[in-house]
Amino acid sequence: MSWSITLTNVTKKYGERTILDDISLTIPAGETVAILGPSGGGKSTLIRCVNGLNTFDAGEIEVGPHRVGPTGPKGVITRIRQSFGMIFQDFQLFPHFSVLENITEAPIRVLGERPALVRERAMLLLKRVGLADRATAYPRELSGGQKQRIAIARALAMNPRGLLCDEITSSLDPEIKTEVLNVLEDLKRDGMTLVLVTHEIGFARRVADRVVVLCDGRIIENGPPASVLDNPQSERMAAFLKCVMG
Amino acid sequence: MRKPLTIRTIQALIRFALLVLILLIQQVILAQDKGALKCGTDFEGGIPYIFGDKDDPRSLVGFEVDLLAALEQELGRPIDRKHAAFDSLLPTVRRGDVDFVMNGIEITVENRKQADFTRPYYLYQLQLIARGNETRKFTTLEDCEKLKLRVGTLNGSAAFRVLDATDDIVTKGYDDQEGPFKDLVAGKLDALLFDVPIALYYVIQDNKIEHRKKDFPGLKLVGRPFAEGQYGIAVKPGSDALRAELDAALGRVIQSGEMKRILTKWHLWSLDQYQLYDEPAVVASESSGLAFGQYFVLLLKGAWVTIQITIVSMALAVALGLPLAMMRLYGPLPLRWLATGYIEFFRGIPVLLLLFFLYFGLSELIGVNLDAMTAAILGFGLNYAAYEAEIYRGGIQSIPLGQWEASASLGMSSGLTFRRIILPQSIRVILPPMTNDFIALFKDTSVVSIISVIELSKQYQILTKTYGQFLEIGLTTAALYLIMSVPLGYLSRYLEERWGGKAM
Ligand SMILES: Nc1ncnc2c1ncn2[C@@H]1O[C@H](COP(=O)(O)OP(=O)(O)OP(=O)(O)O)[C@@H](O)[C@H]1O
Ligand SMILES: [Mg+2]
């Protein structure tokens, strides 16, 4: 059901600056991985490379049965996107569509599924994220936490083999974060591959199977939360943690 | 600290203003004292009345130029020539901008409502003109009527009124002399009706006639001249002293044989002109003002043309603008250049020029004869497409990149994303400036009169030029514009709410 992700010697540059420096990383199917690291460390760039929103300069990325290099091919990138959802910090719901239309758009238009079927599934998903009563609302009528849960439902409607989440709780109030985090925990229980870029150390510790720390385009830590967070191997990690924990 | 304006300073200001005023008035009076008379005339009035010399376009020649010189002599006062378009000559003298106007102005009942006239200085007749290879036989107005011919002439002329009074002739009015000749040659007209002097200089292939127009070969006069009338000098209503002075001077020019000499020099003398000596009673062609019903129907027709041009051109512009914007935004390099070139070009040139080119230029260049309406719609459509393209582009670019990325992450292709996500959202941004353009275009359409399309403003001009009645026809025209544009404004607001309301 779920897919694994493997990065092999991935390098990404912006001009002279190396943003991802020869990254190799394997995320087994069904695992929940938290990606931590200082701002500008390359976390967003990494997961955007996985679903082709960013190109990269060298190396190879494997997502489930698909394999892409720096030059695509484009068809394969589209395939990966259809089966690996992505959630953004700023939701990016479609403002001119109702909640239900936001969710059904891609399955109907991209996968060519029957609208009635998709709508049924969408209602189930809305129930799952606790927003069954907001199907006809428009995004502007929702709170941040509700928007983010709709964004998750929208990604789930494609029956994805995994989700990439880029700081999806960062712009939410602390009380509201839990609504969204609960949904993620629920997905983890289902065995979905989850890649979570996050600053929520507590959540990472509780939910992640593994923590990867990116700093200056390199992986400086990669291991179970307990060892990475409580017993950091590198000095930089210790410094980072000190900084984050205050 | 601000000083309050005291009464004293106010008084000082008033006194100063009065002083300036008095000086100005003195200046004006002095200028008038010099004795120069200002004569309004159309410098592009055309052959053989008054026109720029071929060899030296800055110096004006023509039989009226010679007449003015003779009048200067007789009056003992210099005459300054001031340019004004033919249609606006009578309003100009009426307002008092000039002392008198002279440019083949016919002494008719309508014209005499706007100005007072001197004794006539030339007796004209009207002449039909056709293409030399014309096979249909017509020599009179009745023939033209039977054949339902399209006949062109000058707006506001006696010939125009003669044609307009018929039922079946399609009358086409022009503001310049050349236009109808061009259209006759191009086959857009079947015949012309002009005052004999013009017919003479454009049609007769006599190399002895100096200044003859040679650009329109292969035309012929058909039938005999008819509908006699008179040219006179027009002065502001009520300026009897000036009129008497001019009358006397004209009388002396005629009696001395100078008038005959001038007219003979310009090949315009005929035995008829001996009537000038008698100071004939003014015979004016009979026709009274228009009733509301009559001009209202004509104005409605004009309004309908305005609506047609506006709607079809805008539809064309809106349809053409989108691919242009997309080419400019997403096209490969050569296409992007092409679109940018198109937009810059059409935004850079005046619509007027474009209309001229489409209507006259195309037929001369590649023999494509667009009818005036098509040329108008095409001209505005192409021109506005450039503006609409930029509006589309602004709207499309206003949608955040995140929307593209969110769609891409759902596996949507860029085409699908554009169609379903980006364009519908940008409509909200696009619609207000686009409806603005629509209303602007609605008013811009009045320009098309230069290629002889008669829409609302043109119809107003023609009617008032022919029949006077400025106030009532003007108010009716304004009312029609308002009746059309106010609902347009409501429609645009409704659309903005309907389409724009849904988005954030
Ligand atoms: N389009 C771009 N052009 C040039 N440099 C870029 C671009 N996008 C990102 N970068 C640079 O790449 C580096 C990594 O950016 P990235 O967004 O991946 O960091 P991050 O780890 O996600 O940081 P944050 O926690 O602040 O989101 C940063 O130094 C950033 O300045
Ligand atoms: Mg980031």
Domain positions in chain B are: 33-113+232-287, 122-231, 292-503
pLDDT at res. B30: 46
Q: Is B482 exposed, middle or buried (0-12, 13-18, 19+ CB in 10 A)?
A: exposed
pLDDT at res. B164: 85
pLDDT at res. B468: 72
* Distance of residue A240 Cα from the nearest chain B Cα, in angstroms: 30
Fold identical between B33-113+232-287 and B122-231? Answer: yes
Show Cβ contacts of residue B444 under 8 Å, excluding neighbours closer than 6 positions: B351, B380
d(CA A81, CA B127): 80
* Domains of chain A: total: 1
pTM: 0.67
What sign does the dihedral A13-A14-A17-A23 (CA atoms) show? negative
- Residue A140 forms part of a structural domain: no
pLDDT at res. B503: 43
| A83 Cα to the center of ligand 2, angstroms | 22
Ligand with the closest atom to the CA of A54: 1
Tell if the CB–CB gap between B413 and A78 is shorter than 8 Å: yes
Would you say domain B33-113+232-287 falls under CATH 3.40.190.10?
yes
ipTM of the modeled complex: 0.93
Return the bridge partners of A46, or none: none
- Residue A148 forms part of a structural domain: no
pLDDT at res. B22: 62
- Residue A141 forms part of a structural domain: no
CATH code, residues B292-503: 1.10.3720.10
Tell if the CB–CB gap between A106 and B412 is shorter than 8 Å: yes
The list of chain A residues with pLDDT below 70 reads: 244-246
The list of chain B residues with pLDDT below 50 reads: 1-5, 27-34, 281-286, 502-504
CATH number of the domain enclosing A208: 3.40.50.300
* Distance of residue B396 Cα from the nearest chain A Cα, in angstroms: 14
Show Cβ contacts of residue A21 under 8 Å, excluding neighbours closer than 6 positions: A11, A216, A217, A218
Q: How far is CA B364 from CA A110, B132, B179, B215, in A?
A: 53, 19, 13, 13
- Residue A147 forms part of a structural domain: no
- Residue A110 forms part of a structural domain: no
Domain that holds residue A209: 5-92+162-245
Q: Ligand 1: which of A10, A14, A215 to mutate, judged by most atoms within 8 Å of the beta carbon?
A: A14
Q: Contact at 8 Å (CB) between B312 and B377?
A: yes
Region of B37 (left: φ > 0; alpha: ψ -120 to 50; beta: rest) is beta
Pocket of ligand 1 (CB under 6 A): A 14, 19, 37, 39-45
| A166 Cα to the center of ligand 2, angstroms | 7
Residue type, position B355, single letter: L
pLDDT at res. B90: 85
**Candidates 3.40.190.10, 3.40.50.1820, 3.80.10.10, 3.40.50.720; correct CATH number of B122-231?**
3.40.190.10
